[in-house]
Chain A
Amino acid sequence: MSPTPEWADPRPARVGFDEWLELFERVPDDLIERYHYYGDSEAWSKYLFPPQTFAIYGARHLKRLKFDNSLAALRMWGFVQNETERLFRARQTGRRVIATMGDLGAVPVIVNSFPGCVAFYPDCIWWTPFVMESRVLFDAAAELGIGDATCFSRAALGAFAKHSYFPDPDLVIASTGASCDDYSGVEQLAEQFVGEMMWVEMPMRCGMGPMGPMRHMLVREYERVVERMVNLTGHQVTDDELRQGVRAANRVRKLVRRLRELASRHGALAALEMMVVEFGNLHHYSDITEWPNVLDHLLATAEARVAAGTPVVSGDALRVVWVTPPADPLLLTYVEDAGARVVGTEYVINQALEVIDESKPGLEAIAESFMAASLIGTSRQRAESVIRQARERQAEGVIISGILGGSHCAMETRLISDIVKQELDLPVLEFDVAPPSNEIGRQLQTRIDAFLEVLRSRR
């Protein structure tokens, strides 16, 4: 049954900005009024708005992307694009806003277990310069000492300096250790703009075997997080509440796992929407209550498509695995337009995709799931994840979109590429994502086109 009987999605397609303007004109007022974040009913908490709304407020890239034409996708985009305002409203309505940085997926599970607390990742601001086609945040970061040779995540530093992309957090929990060194630098410089920064050590995963001492170290770190949160909120969190937090995170993770399956096997959702979905596992776009409802809606849409045999991306498209998230979302639109589909991803957030073991005590289970993290192990481990997905989904090629300075190993792209070529005999395309622009450079277009032509010729 459709979750929205008053609306019938058009035949699945990826559509441009102008087409969504036409579609939105047909969306009934009742639907716009229906969806609210934070379970609120205030006018400001509505979020079912089209890309045009956010383009007018500066998100220029939206004019160039292609979007899924379902209501569920519209809802997802509206929800995600609305996050800055949502965080400010969180503060205005008395919630505590906690910035979590660097670990990509674990600490928010703890934070969200505390009533009235909202976790978010400033890290995700790295998309903002691309979405706005703007250097503003990079320039702000450069003034503070981090220039163009550093990962795009330096945009987060610019955002801290400006105090206008999220409210000044009540607490910043910054993870460091076996992770991206560039981002550790960003975190260090951000400290000057925050009231209090708590540092959490992330362990290195030394092999694929038992993680005993490392996991215990992480549990101790998480105990410190709990203690700090108790001090901040005055709320003594119980193990039951932590388990509840784990269950809430798992609800999202299970939904996303199913969506990944439907997208990779059946083309039920396109790569752009799926990237947004996967990254929602980090902090649920600052609303752990509403984000699962958005995912439910997407899942109902995807399942209906599979049942009807109407995918949004053709089953004949060339199957590729994508390694490292493309900071520029236009790359995904371009590759799909050129006749490929993404059947697997290694977006450095494996720890957020893992379903957490609900039978174990909360912190222990969270720590265990974190040990799957992409960035705390070796390049070979990442490559093995790519190989596994490529085999499972019969990928025909692998795309690795590197970020200058944005990896914990300067040779990572080459290492993963070599291992994949060696073990799978698949063509691999490697490139570094260019700085924000209103188009993909000609040279890169040609390289992508040629790569896909090679894949086609191998069929």
Chain B
Amino acid sequence: MKDLLTPRERFGLLVIDEPQDRVPIFPLVTAHAARVAGIPVREYYTDGAAMARSQLVAQETYGIDFISFFSEVGLVAEALGSQYVYPEDDLPLLTRPKWTDLTKVDDRLVDPVRDGRLRVYLDAVTYAYEARGDTVPILAYVPAPFTTAQQLVDQEAFLLGLLTEPERVKELLAYATRSITRFCRAIIGAGGLPILVDPLASGSVISAEHYREFALPSEAEVIRYLHRYDLDVVLHICGDTRATIAMMAETGADLLSIDRIEMADAVAGAGERCRVIGNYDTSAILLSDPKSIEREVAEMTTAGKKCPKGFVAATGCEVPVDTPTDNVRAFVRAARQAGFNPDYGLRRIV
């Protein structure tokens, strides 16, 4: 079945509350793209052209509706001074955060061209935009302040600080926010749509109260900045978000990318205000078989289509690097079929 719309046209309709020819499909293919393209993972996240080529190959191979650049959540923290190692065929690992405790922050602001690997992302966005920007939305994940802060300070000290030094934590969040918005601006200039990703603000890590006090305001601030540009903002929080789903909508995000929460609960909590992106189990896409995946994705998509503001058939989190390609193909096949809109484009007789 040939698509009537390009991914860009489809996404364009979604964000202005119009029906599409089928639901957009977005298994979160990030570093898995390196496998599809046959290059080492380290090359993927250290070379912008390689990152872009991998994503272009993956997008075409699977027929998915977005190109999305991401490797790990330490990106901005690294640019601000945290240290990482780059295993040859695995994702970067944090070896030393910038600070061991919640000391007073400095006045550093990232330079997106020079610091860390921010330039890799910008190069990748530029490359992909020139190659396919007319037909496919180009997305770039940006770690949110709360997650970035936990990469800047020893994580235990940070989490303890939520209870003992909340003001210091907020200073740190403001510090991270300044650099994050600066990085967002550079992505905007390159033609990419920033996606805010805040996995360490998930209910699997912090309480709902802490989410409201610390993570939400800083997410909202970045989203406000992106709304100055009239961009449709995706907020991705993987893990358990049952207790925070309604609060996630309060950030002002236009689309919520969710993981471990029942679709019905997500729709009840945020579906009137936000489009929902989700949420097939990433363990299943790695370990299950194509037939089971097809059945489950069809069920998920059928349920998701009821979301009043719109739905994107996605995985709950990143497609694991070593996921069999047949499994991703099964995901896409099922989502296309179940997400098809037979009423689209029918003649409107006045």
Contacts and interface: CB of A to CB of B under 8 A. Distances in A.
Interface of A: 17-18, 21, 24-25, 29, 32, 44, 46, 49-50, 52-53, 55-58, 60, 63, 84-85, 88-89, 92, 132-134, 136, 161-165, 167-168, 170-171, 193-196, 232, 438
B228 A56 contact: no
A88 B20 CA distance: 13
Contact of B130 (A29, A168, A438): A438
B231 A53 contact: yes
A388 B12 CA distance: 45
Contacts, number: 89
A38 to B, nearest CB: 14
Contact of A163 (B17, B193, B229, B344): B344
A163 B345 contact: yes
B191 interface: yes
Given A52-B229, A132-B134, 11 more contacts: A24-B229, A56-B188, A56-B192, A56-B231, A88-B18, A89-B16, A92-B17, A134-B134, A163-B344, A195-B350, A196-B350
Interface in B1-59: 4-6, 8-10, 12-13, 16-18
Contact of B13 (A32, A136, A161, A164): A164
B215 to A, nearest CB: 23
The size class of the interface chain B forms with chain A is 20 to 34
A201 B254 CA distance: 46
Given A56-B231, A57-B12, A438-B130, A194 B347 contact: yes
A194 B191 CA distance: 34
A134 B347 contact: no
B228 A21 contact: no
Contacts of B348: 168, 170, 194-195
Interface in B112-155: 129-130, 133-135, 137-138
A132 B191 CA distance: 12
Interface in B298-350: 344-345, 347-350
Contacts of B156: none
Interface in B175-196: 185, 188-189, 191-193
B209 interface: no
Interface of B: 4-6, 8-10, 12-13, 16-18, 129-130, 133-135, 137-138, 185, 188-189, 191-193, 228-231, 344-345, 347-350
B189 A18 contact: yes
29 contacts: A24-B229, A25-B185, A29-B228, A49-B229, A49-B230, A52-B188, A53-B231, A56-B191, A56-B193, A57-B8, A57-B12, A58-B135, A60-B133, A60-B191, A88-B16, A89-B16, A92-B17, A136-B135, A162-B5, A162-B345, A163-B4, A163-B344, A164-B13, A168-B347, A170-B350, A194-B347, A195-B347, A232-B350, A438-B130
Contact of B228 (A32, A44, A63, A168): A32
Nearest to B224: A29
Contacts of B133: 58, 60
A396 to B, nearest CB: 37
A28 B228 CA distance: 10
Residue with the highest number of chain A CB atoms closer than 10 Å, among B10, B135, B230, B350: B230
B5 A58 contact: no
Contacts of A55: 191
A369 B230 CA distance: 39
A18 B190 CA distance: 9
B134 A164 contact: no
Contacts of B192: 56
A85 B18 CA distance: 10
B26 to A, nearest CB: 17
Given A162-B5, A164-B5, A170-B350, A53 B229 contact: yes
Contacts of B6: 136
Contacts of B134: 58, 60, 132-134, 136
Contacts of A29: 228
A50 B189 CA distance: 11
Nearest to A63: B191
> Closest 5 CB pairs between A and B?
A134-B134, A168-B348, A164-B9, A163-B345, A49-B230
B314 to A, nearest CB: 20
A46 B230 CA distance: 8
A26 to B, nearest CB: 11
A438 B134 CA distance: 11
Contact of B230 (A53, A63, A164): A53
Nearest to B186: A21
Given A29-B228, A50-B229, A232-B350, A162 B4 contact: yes
Contacts of B4: 161-163
Nearest to A44: B16
Contacts of A17: 189
Nearest to B9: A164
Nearest to B11: A57
B134 to A, nearest CB: 4
A216 to B, nearest CB: 30
A17 to B, nearest CB: 8
Contacts of A89: 16
A164 B189 contact: no
B135 A21 contact: no
A58 B345 CA distance: 22
B16 A85 contact: yes
Contacts of A44: 16
Contacts of A57: 8, 12, 137
Contacts of A50: 229
B2 to A, nearest CB: 10
B165 to A, nearest CB: 32
Nearest to B136: A58
B16 A21 contact: no
A32 B12 CA distance: 22
Contacts of B10: 164
A63 B192 CA distance: 13
A135 to B, nearest CB: 8
Given A60-B129, A85-B16, A88-B16, A134 B189 contact: no
A165 B229 CA distance: 21
Contacts of A161: 4
B9 A21 contact: no
A154 B17 CA distance: 27
Contact of B185 (A21, A63, A92, A132): A21
A21 B184 CA distance: 12
A355 to B, nearest CB: 33
B12 A195 contact: no
A21 B5 contact: no
B127 to A, nearest CB: 13
B73 to A, nearest CB: 23
A219 B189 CA distance: 51
Nearest to A168: B348
A24 B225 CA distance: 12
Given A60-B134, A132-B134, A168-B347, A21 B17 contact: no
Nearest to A165: B9
